[in-house]
Amino acid sequence: MEGPVKFVYEVDGENFTSAGEASISIKKNLRLLGYNPNIIRRVAIAMYEGEINMVIHAGGGRATVYIYPDRVEMILEDNGPGIADIELAMSEGYSTAPDKIRNLGFGAGMGLPNMKKNTDEMKIESVLGKGTTITMIVKT
């Protein structure tokens, strides 16, 4: 059997302007592969929220996406500060984003719950001071 199609993106933590480029690229690729628009949208939203989080909370990171015959798997890894209380971070409305970020239209504390809502599986692994890895799966 053929292996999955793999895409790797470096997400620049210094550049809020470019945040989202990886998600746009994945969206285009899934369109070319002929996926259902609802599936594509769920992948795009989850990945975009994750990408923005890496930029605003973790100074950037890496996004790796595997496209398998039956699912899309997204792995977002960063070497940021980590998340102290994952359950708290997952609750709607919880955000540590400063006003500067809120003025850019983000920081409502909706991202992680929205990632969970748009994916079939989501796992957060985080070590304080080391970084965070989020794995999400959307069945296709």
Partner 1 sequence: MIISKVAELLDAKVCVGEDRLSDEVSSACGSDMMSDVLAYVKNQAVLLTGLVNPQVVRTAEMMDMRCIVFVRSKIPSDSMLELAKECGIVVMTTKKRMYEACGILYSNGLVSLEKEEEE
Ligand X SMILES: Nc1ncnc2c1ncn2[C@@H]1O[C@H](COP(=O)(O)OP(=O)(O)OP(=O)(O)O)[C@@H](O)[C@H]1O
Cβ proximity to ligand X: between 35 and 106 the closer is 106
- Taking the complex as a whole, how short is the minimal distance between the CB of residue 80 and partner 1, in angstroms? 19
Chain-centroid distance, C-alpha 23 = 8
Point out which span in 1-9, 11-19, 62-70, 102-110 binds ligand X (CB under 6 A).
102-110
Do residues 97 and 106 make contact, with C-beta atoms less than 8 angstroms apart?
A: yes
- Taking the complex as a whole, how short is the minimal distance between the CB of residue 32 and partner 1, in angstroms? 15
Among 19, 23, 45, 57, binds ligand X (CB under 6 A): 57
- Taking the complex as a whole, how short is the minimal distance between the CB of residue 6 and ligand X, in angstroms? 22
Among 13, 61, 80, 111, binds Mg ion (CB under 5 A): 111
Contacts of residue 101, Cβ cutoff 8 Å, sequence gap at least 6: 56, 107
If binding is defined by CB under 5 A, does position 132 make contact with Mg ion?
Answer: no
